[in-house]
A and B are shown apart, each in its own frame.
Chain A
């Protein structure tokens, strides 16, 4: 922000030929940063361009707009602008969430009309927590455990590192493939390193079943919910993620699988490497290339090109949406913040959202960002968030 001001001052000064040698160096350095910067300064030095800019700038009628605004400010109800009315004809309206980083101004406050609706209930976001279910049914809560070694049976050890990630490092001659289940509740998140070195980031409300020690030809795990896999390369032993309806077969690669029971589709997004998607109904397995996404829905497999960042940003503590329906957006928020939403106005379901927001803000901040950048309003009642 600080730099922003300096740069526009420097450019204005350069147009007036008032730059000192030192300032000129700063400006040159900024111009060298990228093509946009260089072009901006060149455009402004171009007489015709500058004249067009000045014309455009002067064309806005501040006085008239103020009168219009003052009139609307006096009214309690928001008068929808006429263009918006035209748009209602179009079933879908896309809405953009506030882009990351600019939410500092959304501190919760005690008073104030709009904010008071949301602020009274602070629903905190999820955290690193999970339970490990052993084959014999024993349950090990992993919440808050760090830098610990867990002994299982006589000589098998699991370690939890200082960031709270569970790591399997079993002895080479470990016997039976004992199955473990890692269960991450709503509001939780967990990273685990399997015995073969494969890293798995588990999202909220997800479950992974895997052998404590991989034996046999295949490395097979079962997933309900969502996880991001970074599979350790081992050509001899393909890694298979079994989900509802689809198996994802891999050699060594990174990809995201989303197979929540409350979503109609099982979605596999490939970041790098290659995976094969197989389902009973498919005659032949479908192979994905990096940047592709396989969507399994209604017993059909669709493959499309996607921006993989949108589907994997959750491991980097962000929510990303691109043209997602409100219901999908709210389901994702619900899992992470462990809060329920109720849509009372069915028209809202027609809305589409795009944008990215940090995950660790408490939910009222996220809702406020949405309120400010869209025409949705939320009301919190007994830990249920109602959309009017």
Chain B
């Protein structure tokens, strides 16, 4: 699966044809940034996930011939999420007249543009992790994102404890090169890194 290039014509074609694997690749590429984007607007992580879920579902059910490239799909996603967020905030205001946490006047196009940029910058940071060799990535994620113990990972993957340690070390030096100064932040986020 890691070999799929989402920029490629083949990928777009398999999306058009409704191949579920292609959808999964697309979902994995955009899910977190879109959730982040939505959460910045609605200030509610679960709601953000729901909104993104709906957008993907509507994309799955719609006709997808009109997208000439991945960029137009991305724009569609951000626009749809943005609209559903506004929709959600409006609902909140209708049922709760006291709900005025967000200054709605602030929610102009420029605000959304900034939130999208923000999501993409953070995504960029995360992409580096995805660029790790498959095995290191898996170990890295289990260890630092899921917070599993080395011993458990070793058992699960059927590899030695030593291999785990080497792989983690490799991931670290790769990220240090790839992220430069940003590496500091990865360290902050993943304690014990």
Contacts and interface: CB of A to CB of B under 8 A. Distances in A.
Contact of A96 (B90, B93, B122): B90
Interface stretch (B111-119, B131-139, B159-167): B111-119
Contacts of A1: 71, 75
Contacts of B94: 90, 92-94, 352
B65 to A, nearest CB: 6
Interface in A10-28: 11-12, 15-18
Interface stretch (A59-67, A296-304, A311-319): A59-67
A62 B31 contact: yes
B62 A372 contact: yes
A69 B61 CA distance: 12
A244 interface: no
A65 B121 contact: no
Interface string A46-60: 010011011111111
Contact of A102 (B76, B87, B91, B181): B76
Given A1-B71, A65-B53, A323-B90, A60 B36 contact: yes
A17 B181 CA distance: 7
Contacts of B54: 81
A317 to B, nearest CB: 18
Interface in A71-110: 72-73, 78, 81, 83, 87, 90, 92-99, 102, 104-107, 109
Contacts of A70: 20, 24
Interface in B31-67: 31-33, 35-36, 39-40, 45, 47-50, 52-54, 56-58, 60-63, 65-67
A11 B66 contact: no
B64 to A, nearest CB: 9
A79 B131 CA distance: 35
A69 B63 contact: no
Given A53-B122, A105-B76, A69 B56 contact: yes
A57 B50 contact: no
Contacts of B20: 70, 73
A310 interface: no
A358 B175 CA distance: 47
B90 A354 contact: yes
Classify chain B: how many residues form its interface, as a range: 35 or more
A106 B28 CA distance: 25
Contacts of A106: 66
Nearest to B183: A16
A373 B84 contact: yes
Nearest to A98: B83
B84 A96 contact: yes
A344 interface: no
Given A65-B31, A87-B91, A54 B45 contact: no
Interface centre among A59, A87, A113 (most CB of B within 10 A): A59
Interface of A: 1, 4-5, 7-9, 11-12, 15-18, 34, 36-37, 39-40, 43-44, 47, 50-51, 53-62, 65-66, 68-70, 72-73, 78, 81, 83, 87, 90, 92-99, 102, 104-107, 109, 111-115, 323, 352, 354-355, 372-373
Counting from the closest, the 10 A-B pairs by CB-CB distance are A112-B63, A94-B90, A8-B120, A16-B180, A60-B35, A12-B124, A96-B87, A105-B66, A102-B79, A96-B86
Given A8-B120, A99-B109, 19 more contacts: A4-B113, A12-B120, A40-B114, A40-B118, A56-B40, A56-B45, A60-B31, A60-B48, A65-B49, A66-B27, A66-B28, A69-B57, A70-B24, A73-B57, A90-B91, A90-B94, A107-B66, A112-B62, A352-B94
25 contacts: A5-B71, A8-B117, A11-B117, A15-B121, A16-B180, A37-B110, A40-B114, A50-B185, A51-B188, A54-B189, A56-B36, A58-B32, A69-B27, A69-B56, A73-B20, A81-B53, A83-B50, A90-B94, A92-B94, A97-B83, A98-B83, A105-B76, A114-B61, A372-B80, A373-B83
Interface of B: 20, 23-24, 27-28, 31-33, 35-36, 39-40, 45, 47-50, 52-54, 56-58, 60-63, 65-67, 71-72, 75-76, 79-80, 82-84, 86-87, 90-91, 93-95, 109-111, 113-114, 116-126, 145, 179-182, 185, 188-189
